[in-house]
Amino acid sequence: MAYAFQEDQKQFMWSATGSYVEYVKKISNNRTTLVVRNMSMTCDDLRRRIVPPVELRPLKFGVAYARIVYESYEFIEEELRSSYHAQNVFCYSVDKKASENFNRRINTLEECFPNVVVTKGWSYSIVSNFFSNSEFTRREKNALFFFEKFFKKYC
C-alpha cells in the first residue's frame, strides 16, 4: 500500500500546482538571466574579487577542481571565488565553441593565479578534456590525494 500512498502524493502535488507543462512555463518565465558585465580583468582587480580579504587557515590537503567550460565567465569566476584557497587547484578545459572573449578572460585567470590552469588543446570531446584536466591535476601535490582516490575508485 505504500506505493499507492506515493501515487496519491504525486496526484496531490500535480493538482496543487496544475499541470507539469504549466509549472515549467511558469518557472521558465521567471528564470534569472545572467547579464554580462564589463569587469576589469587586471590581476589586481581579479585578486580583489576572488581572494578572501582574511588569511585562510591551512588545509590538511587541497582539492582539485576540474571543469570543462565554454560560457558564463562571470558564473565561473563566482564559483572560483566561493571555493578559492591557495592550496586548491583549479583546472579549466575550454571547449572549442567558446568565444574569443571568453578564452581571453579564462586565460587571464591562469596568468594571475598560480593555482589556476587552463589546459591547452581545446576539444569538442568531453572525455579528452576531462583526461587533459586529470593529467594535470594528478601531477599537482595539493591535488594528488583527491585524484588518487578518484582513479582508484572509478578507473
% of residues, the chain, pLDDT over 70: 61
pLDDT band at residue 1, thresholds of 50, 70 and 90? very low
Q: Are 115 and 86 in contact (CB under 8 A)?
A: yes
Q: What is the pLDDT of residues 99-116, one digit of tens each?
A: 999 999 999 999 999 999
Q: How many CA atoms lie within 13 A of 107 on its CB side?
A: 9
Amino acid sitting at position 61: F
User: Mean per-residue pLDDT for 68-96?
Assistant: 91
The Cα 82–Cα 27 span in angstroms is 26
Q: What phi-psi label fits residue 52: left (phi over 0), alpha (psi between -120 and 50 degrees) or beta?
A: beta
* Residue in the structure block whose three cell numbers are 521567471: 30
